Amino acid sequence: MDDCLRPCVREILRSVCALAPGSFLVGGAIRDALLGKSVRFDLDLAIRGNGFLIARELADLIGSDAAFVPLDNERGTGRVVVGRGEVVTLDISSFKGEDIAADLHERDFTINAIAVGLDDFLEHGLDRLVDPTGGLDDLRAGIVRACSDHTFRDDPLRILRAFRFQSRLRFRVADDTLGMIPSGLPELSKVSWERIRDEFIAILACDNSAQCIRTMDRFGVIDALFPELVPMKGVDQNPYHHLDVWEHTLETVYQLELLLSDGLAGFGDFAQRIADYANEEPVRDRPRRALLKLAALLHDSGKPARLSVDPDGRVRFFGHEKVSGEICEVILSRLTLASREKELVRELVTGHMRPFVVMAETVTKRSIYRLHRRFKSDVIGLLLLFLADLGATRGPARKEGQTEEALRQVLTALDLFLGMDENPPPPLLKGGDLMRIFGLQPGPILGKMLRKVAEYQGAGLVTTPKEALLMLMGEDPWEDGETSDKTS
């Protein structure tokens, strides 16, 4: 919390005291400071007057370095953003009630309902806390507890916030708070999907989100948000699986989470590259690791629609990845993700069966080149999803040691993939060349031949136009060369 007492921040807070005597610092900054976590310059203030007007006055007082952001004029809430490099953000809101105690009782969770008078804070730090809801005890016990019995009715999004705090802080949600969730569920889907998206992605971004997803499912939250996933529950699978489709899905999310944390060591020299890939943010504050877990949650959503049973009783799901992609598209659009985020998740879902090619006795450059051609850098995410999917598949038909063998094969595939040129050289043969030599017209056959030449060139198997022509003449140029997807 010492950062919040730097001279530049002190000066801003003293200005607030002058404009609104009796103001309080509340919320997340205090919580994180008491937990010994780094506190960003992102402060919540509660005041006796009109927070909207005071925020505007504060921005005017500070001058050109400050910007006023109107949040909610009716509820008396405004934001002031100060600085250009190291930004200080202050959300200033009117008391929700007569005094600070009443205000704190109206907040979401007790661990966020701890305050300190701004004058006291500037003189004594956090020595004189106001804690009418028992937030300090819950912080010590690691509990997320609602401040009142109408917490979720007031704002149903707080249901997701509870699980975000559980996931981020590794706390548990109090039993009485979990019991209140059903009262807020009917209204949850009516909340802005942008707000739902931000909370849900924030949950997935944490290292222990799989446990939260399971608890959310137990209390009906997943069903309320994603009714398209309900048919997965109770759908039995073939002997390669030990879980039904939905339980397998939850286990896949968990296995992926393990790979992205404790399991990184198993990737040896590739560990840092994988960590960098997973932590990169296609959109600010939405890391790729969260999108990978979302893909894991959706990857088998099409199985119920593709269920069939052979005469011998074996369960199959032919083409389920295509249906999963269609379901995925609906959910991703509802979550209002950016186009590049939707493309990543959709490609991983529809392509999640492709990496079974690495289970061949020999992983070839040609097979990895095919993956590289379609998935580019997201071959890494595809292979991670493949390993997680396989790790969640432990039925009696699965061979012993297959997961370990898959990791060895994936390491070989990564070695080949990372050695491929991101900017491939010009093609050895062009369409005009093949049309002239083979007497072809533009069409599917010509396209297949060009793809084959590109595959062999990308894999380093041919390096000159002559070698490419000999390859085409020595093999059936009408054979597509694509590996058929198989369902597990």
Return d(Cα 312, Cα 314) in angstroms, integer.
Answer: 6
Q: What would the CATH number be for the domain defined by 1-141?
A: 3.30.460.10
Q: Are 248 and 392 in contact (CB under 8 A)?
A: yes
pTM of the model: 0.85
Q: Which one, of 15, 116, 20, 97, lies nearest residue 59 by Cα?
A: 15
Q: What is the pLDDT of residue 488?
A: 47
Q: Are 80 and 89 in contact (CB under 8 A)?
A: yes
Ramachandran class of 38: left when φ > 0, alpha when ψ lies in -120 to 50, beta otherwise: beta
Total residue count of the chain as it appears in this document: 488
Q: How many CA atoms lie within 13 A of 53 on its CB side?
A: 6
Torsion, Cα of 448, 452, 455, 457 (10° steps): -130
> Residue-wise pLDDT tens for the chain (488 aa)?
555 557 788 899 999 999 999 999 998 999 999 998 877 778 999 999 999 999 999 999 999 889 999 999 988 999 999 987 678 899 999 998 889 999 999 999 999 999 999 999 999 989 999 999 999 999 999 999 999 999 999 999 999 999 999 999 999 999 999 999 998 999 998 899 999 999 999 999 999 899 999 999 999 999 999 999 999 999 999 998 999 999 999 999 999 999 999 889 999 999 999 999 999 999 999 999 999 999 999 999 999 999 999 998 889 999 999 999 999 999 999 999 999 999 999 999 999 998 888 887 788 877 887 788 788 889 999 999 999 999 999 999 888 888 889 999 999 999 888 877 555 678 878 888 888 888 888 888 888 888 787 777 776 777 788 877 877 787 544 444 443 334 44
Return d(Cα 251, Cα 242) in angstroms, integer.
Answer: 11
Return d(Cα 393, Cα 384) in angstroms, integer.
Answer: 14
Class of domain 142-225: mainly alpha
Return d(Cα 176, Cα 186) in angstroms, integer.
Answer: 19
Q: Which one, of 132, 215, 219, 133, lies nearest residue 166 by Cα?
A: 215
Q: Are 325 and 349 in contact (CB under 8 A)?
A: yes
Return d(Cα 342, Cα 291) in angstroms, integer.
Answer: 9
